[in-house]
Each structure stands twice: as C-alpha cells, then as structure tokens.
Amino acid sequence: MKHQAPLTVGPLVAGPGTRVIGVVPVDLGEGRLVELPIVVVHGAFPGARVAVTAGIHGAEYVSIVALRDVAMSLDPALVRGSLVAVLTANPAAFAARTIYLNPMDGTNLNRVFPGKADGSPTQRLARWITDHVIAGSDVFVDMHCGDMNEALVSFTGVEETGDADVDARSRALAEAYGLRYLLIGPASGTTTTAAASLGISAVLGEVGGQGRWPAEDVALHAAGLRRLLRAAGLVDEAPETPRHVTEMLRSEAWMRATSTGYWHPSVEVGMRVAKGTVVGEVRDAFGKVLEQPIAPLDGVVIFLVTSLAMNEGDPLLALAG
C-alpha cells in the first residue's frame, strides 16, 4: 500500500505514521494573536482526511475534553488517512469563561463562518479555521455541547448541500455517531455551513453542557467520534453503536426572550412539547410575570437555558420536531 505524503497545518508538519502536536498562532489583526492547540494524526497509509473542531464556544467543555482524549489516544500506525483536531478553537472565550461570544469583539464565532481575512478578530479566526482546517478535508466534524448556561439532549446535526453523495455521506456519518436525535437543516454562519458550501460532508455533535464535563458525557462524545472515524475508514475499532432507532428532526425553532428578567422554565430538556404550550415565564425581580413564551411547533426540547438571569433577545430554549 502506498504511503502518504507529509501533512501540513500552519507550521505543523506531520510525516506518515506520526502524531504532531503544537500551539498554532493565528493573527487576528492589529497585533492580536490567539494560539490554537492542534493535534495532527497522520496515518501511515492513505485515506480520508477528517478535520474536527471543539471549543468553538469556549465554555463547551465536554467537547474539548472528548476531542483531546480521542486525538491523543489514536495510534498513527493503525490510522488510514489523517485527523486534524483543533482542541480549543476559541481560546479567548475559553480563558474568559464566556458564553456564546468571543470577548475580543463580542461576537459569536459560530455565526460568522466562513469569516473574513480583513474583518473583526472573530471573523479572522473563522476565516483561518475555514482555510486551514475545514478546506481540504473529506469530512468535517464540529463537536459542541450546551454552553455554560444550557442543558441539552444529545444529538447530531447535518446540512443538505444538494449534492446527493455528500448529503448521504453526512447522514451516514451522523448516524454512525450513535446519538438518539439527528437534526437535518441549515444553520447560517456556522462551521458546518462553511463545510457544506465547500462540498464537504459535515456533522455537528452535541453532548452535555452547563459548564460540566462528567466522565459519562465525555465518554459518550468520544465514543461517537470514534464510531464516525471508523465509518470514515480511518480506524477499524470503535465502541458498539447504542441500540436505538435514530429519530430524524427536520423542523427547528429557537425561542428567545422579549423581556429582561428572571427565567422560570416549566419544561425540561428532552421533553416533548405540543404547539401552543406555555414553556415557562420571564418574571421581574418581584415575581411579576413579564412574558409567557408559547411553543411555536410540536417538538422535543433539544436545549434549555438553565440560568435564572435572562436578557431580552437571549435564547430560552430550542424545539425540534
């Protein structure tokens, strides 16, 4: 079998059958830098190139730990193809323990892809990830979890590109991940949208949340990624797929607060909710009800904000059905 040529990611160069780790500086303009911890596992023999990011939102800890565990435990001698793993894709948000936003410019990194080379710091970071990590890959995976203020039910997500072969592969890889729910639909400005626009099969994976990284959640996310790598042909061994039927969800609705106050949800993550159901109340400091949000569709609560504090325009929860 023919050996692979070396693989280069930024200043990192990995020869066939090796693992290279390093902190890669990314110029965000005006003398600002971030350093991305990256692992390149370059297999001894040719195969698919799989790129994976975690920590696009800095407080999504389950994804960060799970990706590190997988990337650092693969044996390059047994890998066909390669894995490019960005262990913490938003270091400034991670260091500041911020939800949703990059503190360098107050922007959500996962809403500005593919980014701009001459834009804001977050846009420049998105552009670098698009050009150096996503582009050139055969498969892209973005590992997430609920942010520090969010609980969620485990799910995968894919976008449809219109290319039947790309879409079929994305769906097969998402099903290989082995989580209960699979959301199918677009998500503007995200990593997976950027991958889809390049004709790359892409999967979003979501497990855990609330600023925690319990061993069982990390193991579930890591096992899903290992199954995906097996399905992509990189490895032969992976945990068994859980015995359940994957439920496809094609309709999604994010519910946002129209008032600033105190959030008292009346539903739980994973609960099935009927259209027209009152899902909670936003109250003022003295308990007066400011709003009673109503479910716009029948669906499963896929994530739920669990903080008492709520600001106008913030997410309350999302439904998918």
Take residue 108 and report the two structure tokens written for it. Answer: 């959500």
Q: Would you call 126 helix, strand, or coil by DSSP?
A: helix
Q: Which CATH class is domain 252-320?
A: mainly beta
Instruction: Locate 53 and state its tokens.
Output: 């990011």
Cα–Cα dist 39/56, whole Å: 16
pLDDT for the residue 222: 98
Helix H or strand E segment including 301: strand 299-305
From 269, 254, 259, 262, select the one nearest 315 (Cα to Cα). 254
Residue 205 DSSP label: E
| Closest-CA residue to 234 (of 302, 192, 176) | 176
Of the candidates 119, 108, 243, the residue with the CA atom closest to the CA atom of residue 180:
243
Cα(135)–Cα(64) distance, integer angstroms: 21
**Segment holding 9, helix H or strand E:** strand 7-9
Count how many residues are written for the chain.
321
pLDDT at 3: 64
Q: Are 32 and 124 in contact (CB under 8 A)?
A: no
What's the CA gap between 38 and 188, in Å, rounded?
Answer: 26
Exposed e or buried b per residue across 167-179, where buried means at least 16 C-beta atoms within 10 angstroms of its C-beta:
bebbbebbbbbbb
> Residue 87 in contact with residue 143, Cβ under 8 Å?
no
- Give me the pLDDT at residue 191, please: 98
Per-residue H/E/C for 167-197: HHHHHHHHHHHCCCEEEECCCCCCHHHHHHH
Task: Assess contact for 48 and 139: CB atoms under 8 A.
Answer: yes
The pLDDT value recorded for residue 2 is 59
- As given in the structure block, the two tokens for residue 205 are 């994976």
| Widest distance between CA atoms in the chain | 71
Q: Residue 51 and residue 204: Cα distance in Å, rounded?
A: 12
Contact 293, 255 (CB under 8 A): yes
Please state, in angstroms and rounded to a whole number, the distance separating the CA atoms of residues 283 and 262: 5
Positions of the chain with pLDDT lower than 50, given as ranges: 1
Domains of the chain, residue spans? 7-247, 252-320
The closest alpha carbon to 277, from 305, 308, 300, 247, belongs to: 300
pLDDT at 245: 72
CATH architecture designation of domain 7-247: 3-Layer(aba) Sandwich (3.40)
Q: H-helix or E-strand containing 226?
A: helix 215-231
pLDDT of residue 247: 87
- Taking Cα atoms as reference points, which of 87, 77, 129, 88 lies closest to residue 234? 77
> Which among 152, 121, 137 is positioned nearest to 9, based on CA atoms?
137
